[in-house]
Amino acid sequence: MVKEKNPYYRLKYARIYKRRGKKRAIITIARMMLTAIYHMLSTGEVWNPTDLYKIDMPDNLVQKQKDKAIKQATKLLISEGLLPDDFVRKDLEPAI
């Protein structure tokens, strides 16, 4: 089985844990996961949470995602010939 690190359920658990406690948080997350699995199996769709980017994500994770997106975009532009191969800027910051 392929494992993928995703903070979605971890962050949901942390929020519920603060309000309701450990046992209720575990039950709530288990129910959410079972519901998602049921819908994936019944419809054949892949897992795609709609509120993934609405939850508060840690700043370091947001920065990692931005850096990865910039790296992929640069790679694509170089492969399409729109940027020279020696174009690499480590201090590149996206405009927000």
Model pTM? 0.49
Sequence ranges of the domains in the chain: 1-56, 58-96
* pLDDT tens string 3-46: 456 678 888 888 899 999 999 999 999 999 999 899 889 998 88
Q: How far apart are CA 75 and CA 80, in angstroms?
A: 9
**pLDDT given for residue 30 in this prediction:** 94
What's the confidence (pLDDT) of residue 25?
94
Tens-digit pLDDT profile for residues 56-87: 667 787 788 889 988 999 888 888 888 776 66
* Residue 58 structure tokens: 């840690």
- Show Cβ contacts of residue 40 under 8 Å, excluding neighbours closer than 6 positions: 46, 47
